[in-house]
Amino acid sequence: MNQLSKKQLVARLLQSFGKKMLSSRPVQEHETELVIDKADLPEVCRTLVQEKKGRLFTMVGNDERELSGHFALYYVFAFDQLQHLITVKTLLEEADPVFPSISAQIPAANWYEREVKDLLGLRALGHPDRRPLILHGDWPEDQYPLRKDFSAALPVSRQPDRGTSMQYSGRDVTEIPVGPIHAGIIEPGHFRFGAVGDTVLHLDAKLFYTHRGLEKSAEGLPLTKALFTAERICGVCALSHAVAFAQAVEAAAQLTPPPRALYLRSLFLELERLYNHIGDLGNLCAGFGFAVGVSHGSRLREQLQQLNEELAGHRYLRGVIQLGGLRLDVTPAELSRLLTVLEQVEADFDELMDIILSHDIALDRMATTGVLSLQQANDLEVVGVAARASGRAVDIRRSHPYAAYGQLDVPLVQYTQGDVLARFKVRAEEVKTSLQIIRQIVCQIPAGAIWAPVPEIQPYTRAMGWAESPRGEVCHWLMVGPEQTVFRYRIRSAAYSNWPAVPLTVPGNIVPDFPLINKSFELCYSCCDR
């Protein structure tokens, strides 16, 4: 598609809004911003999603009172066919910080709208669920942490819990509360099952126990230091988040890192996917008590993490990324060592898949368990492995290529059943495609510099960066402040998009299947909670 026809297509996309558009401007090469009145928000968003087939990529609330005297909302829609993003911006008066809700028509907006209420005090009128999301019931209702006049240093006095969990009633419904502290090494989340006998009728998940206020603490940090915050959003997707943040900064500075740096980023991203996917496939076996699979998976994962340590100096690939490129290079000897290790891992991995997928009990437990329908996946804008297992073709490496993915052949792995087995198989095949991609990278990697200096960024420039983490796409929205600091940083991780889908897949299954379903999504809590 050449540039001209893309421009025309984008223009055609927007022409139906006519008078509703107060202004429009191209922000980056891949993004158009239009400003509308808040009253037109539901109609414009509905047209973009339902008629123009865009998907809600992220939504950001921003306190811009010191810039323009308003709060601002940015709804970002991704158009995968066009490789384009459309941002719908609307301004809210400080005296009247309300806006019409779009959640009833676009269910994916549910969490975003509740989040801007909790953190910025911007209220979505007509939202079907008015419970707090992030700050739980013991946080005072008039304290909004992401407003610029809220100081993170001051203690906030808590109030008695308002009780925000679902209450089940009825004679035959048993309420089973689980968590937030769990047995085993998993993060905190409170799950409340309404069960009839052994069968789950409804599941209510309460998350955000690990909300650390990273977005607030990043504000005012120099960009170079905020990179370390980005690396610590998630334990196991550290690299994806670092890459997404670095790309956001580079987009703001209109800088393209040298080609070798882009290839190396892709290489490390695939290594991250490999160790995660193989570890997750092994861990999934714990859902049906198959210890051989768990041990075999962790052994392979350990081998890959030691490889990470050899190549990058860190088992979880932290400290690899630098704004403008990479911090370390890889020698040809290391690349050939990489190929040798991957060959061993692949042989062992094939054997592990053979063991699990020829195990009758494993298949019996995984097939038809925890089905996520395509309709549900589309409505909630599910991403990553879970989306591709339900027949939703979303892979941001293909639709909006970043790093070196534009030059690489990235096959799409897709299943349609949407059950645990489909998610298992998507992961297993993605391990194979990751290995393919790594081999392509090793063949094609150009020589040259691995870093370019980042030019000065104009204050209040905003930009986005994204990456396909092992759990799905992550999107970092960044507005740069004066003197190369962070003004507003919004992290939308894959877990944030996928968590609302998990409770939908559980009803109808038996209670002991929940750990298995949960493991098949393998979502992170801390990068959802931030």
Partner 1 sequence: MFEILRKIWRTGTVTRRQPLPPAAAKYRGKIVIDPERCNGCLECIGICPSGALRTNCIQGKEQLVISHEKCIFCGSCADNCAEQAIKLTNQCYLATRNKQEAQER
Six-digit token pair at 369? 């368990």
x-marked contacts with partner 1 along 386-405 as a string, rule CB under 8 A: --------------------
Which of 156, 328 has the CB closer to partner 1?
Answer: 328
% helix, strand, coil for the chain, step of 5: 45, 20, 35
- Scanning 81-89, 163-171, 225-233, 379-387 for contacts with partner 1 by CB under 8 A, the matching segment is 225-233
How far apart, in whole angstroms, are the C-alpha atoms of residue 24 and residue 6? 16
* Nearest residue (CB) to partner 1, 217 versus 407: 217
Using CA atoms, how far residue 460 sits from 140, 227, 488, in Å, is 31, 18, 9
Among 140, 181, 327, 416, interactor with partner 1 by CB under 8 A:
327
The yes or no reply on residue 319 touching partner 1 (CB under 8 A) is yes
Q: In terms of CB distance, is 122 or 278 closer to partner 1?
A: 278
- Indicate whether 246 belongs to the interface with partner 1 (CB under 8 A): no
Cα gap 263→272, rounded to integer Å: 14
Q: Taking CB under 8 A as the rule, does residue 337 contact partner 1? A: no
Pick 46 or 318: Cβ nearer partner 1: 318
And the tokens for 311? 């190549």
Q: Which span (64-72, 101-109, 144-152, 307-315) binds partner 1, by CB under 8 A? A: 307-315
Instruction: Give one DSSP letter per residue of 217-229, joined into a string.
Output: HHTTSBHHHHHHH
State how far Cα 468 lies from the chain centre. Answer: 8
Q: Which two tokens stand for residue 405?
A: 């993915």
Residue 313 binds to partner 1 (criterion: CB under 8 A): yes
Structural tokens at position 109: 């907006």
Q: Which of 231, 251, 250, 228 is nearest to 240 (CA)?
A: 231
- What residues between 40 and 99 interact with partner 1 by CB under 8 A? none
Nearest to 433 by CA among 445, 443, 441, 421: 441
**Is there binding between residue 312 and partner 1 (CB under 8 A)?**
yes
Contact, 447 vs 12, CB < 8 A?
A: no
The least distance separating partner 1 from the CB of residue 221, rounded to whole angstroms, comes to 8
DSSP state of 47: I
Q: 275-286 burial, b for 16+ CB within 10 Å, e for fewer?
A: bbbbbbbbbbbb
CB of 518 to partner 1, least distance (A): 28
Q: Which two tokens stand for residue 275?
A: 């160790």
CB of 346 to partner 1, least distance (A): 17
Position among 202, 314, 398, 432 found at the interface with partner 1 (CB under 8 A): 314
Interaction between residue 309 and partner 1 (CB under 8 A): yes
Cβ neighbors of 353 (< 8 A, separation 6 or more) are 281, 428
Among 310, 346, 379, 429, binds partner 1 (CB under 8 A): 310
- The answer to whether 228 contacts partner 1 (rule: CB under 8 A) is yes
Pick the closer one to partner 1 by CB: 279 or 503. 279
Pick 16 or 295: Cβ nearer partner 1: 295
In angstroms, rounded to a whole number, what is the distance separating the alpha carbons of residues 269 and 363?
Answer: 30
Q: How far apart are CA 116 and CA 390, in angstroms?
A: 30
| Contacts of residue 385, Cβ cutoff 8 Å, sequence gap at least 6 | 423, 426, 427, 430, 470, 471, 472, 521, 522
- Looking at 99-107, 177-185, 309-317, 505-513, which segment touches partner 1 (CB under 8 A)? 309-317
Please report how close the Cβ of residue 217 comes to partner 1 at its closest, in angstroms: 12
41, 99 contact by CB (below 8 A):
yes
The rounded distance, in Å, linking the Cα atoms of 251 and 458 is 12
Cα atoms found within 13 Å of the Cα of residue 203, Cβ hemisphere only: 27
Q: Does 299 bind partner 1 (CB under 8 A)?
A: yes
- Residue among 65 and 299 whose Cβ is closer to partner 1: 299
Task: Return the number of the residue (25 or 225) whose C-beta is nearest partner 1.
Answer: 225
Answer for which of 13, 311, 474, 527 binds partner 1 (CB under 8 A) is 311
Segment near partner 1 (CB under 8 A); pick from 93-101, 179-187, 303-311, 515-523: 303-311
CB of 310 to partner 1, least distance (A): 4
Residue 289: Cβ within 10 Å count: 13
Positive or negative: CA dihedral 231, 430, 523, 404? positive
Q: Please pick, from the candidates 328, 374, 452, 504, the single residue that binds partner 1 as defined by CB under 8 A.
A: 328
CB of 132 to partner 1, least distance (A): 31
- The CA distances from residue 342 to 176, 354, 443, in Å, are 44, 18, 15
Q: Which of residues 443-502 bind partner 1 (CB under 8 A)?
A: none
304 binds partner 1 per the rule CB under 8 A: no
* Interface characters, 140-179, with partner 1 (x: CB under 8 A): ----------------------------------------
Query: Toward partner 1, which CB reaches closer, 106 or 218?
Result: 218
Catalog residues that contact partner 1 under the rule CB under 8 A: 225, 228, 232, 299, 306, 309-314, 318-319, 327-328
